[in-house]
Amino acid sequence: MPFHIVLVEPEIPANTGNIARTCAATGAHLHLVRPLGFNTDDRTLKRAGLDYWHAVQVHYYDSFAELQEKYAGSQFYYASTRAQKIYSDIQYKDGDMLVFGKETKGLPQQLIDENIDNCIRMPMTTEVRSLNLSNSAAIILFEALRQNGFQSLI
């Protein structure tokens, strides 16, 4: 089973395009929760994903609740700078859902509060608020793949 990258209300097309490219390279599925901050035929989005769009399974949802209902039996992990757990301390399994919020505000506080035990963060200095969304998604996805012996890539 592939890993899943979930972007909740992404705002910047280049970030989503870069994440799509990472998904194409790893076999991860990309899930986009509306509203999106761009049109899916945006030139920047297409350019960032290069000519790999055919290799990405992209799924769209009108709400996060819709996605949760479809994947009710799956394990969700929520990336947040406000989390206590470090992303590398989690034992990821194939099929896990890696959830990221919008670039300017992150995930809604209510979603974090309801899932605090499954919230993860990347350690960083106090000089910055957060890492770039596409970098964050790649870092956590590759940790999950590493823990599982890169099986989907061999």
CATH code: domain of residue 47: 3.40.1280.10
Q: What's the mean pLDDT in 39-55?
A: 71
Res 96: pLDDT: 98
- pTM here is 0.94
Kindly report, residue by residue over 66-123, the tens digit of the pLDDT: 999 999 999 999 999 999 999 999 999 999 999 999 999 999 999 999 999 999 999 9
Instruction: State the total domains in the chain.
Output: 1
What is the domain extent for residue 101?
Answer: 4-153
Q: What's the mean pLDDT in 2-9?
A: 97
Whether the predicted pLDDT of 49 surpasses 60? no
Q: In what order do the strands lie in the sheet with 76-79?
A: 58-61, 29-33, 4-8, 97-100, 76-79, 119-121, 85-86
Res 44: pLDDT: 67
Mean pLDDT of the chain: 92
Instruction: Please choose, from the candidates 134, 96, 124, 112, the residue with its C-alpha nearest in 3D space to the C-alpha of residue 10.
Output: 134
- % of the chain residues with pLDDT over 70: 94
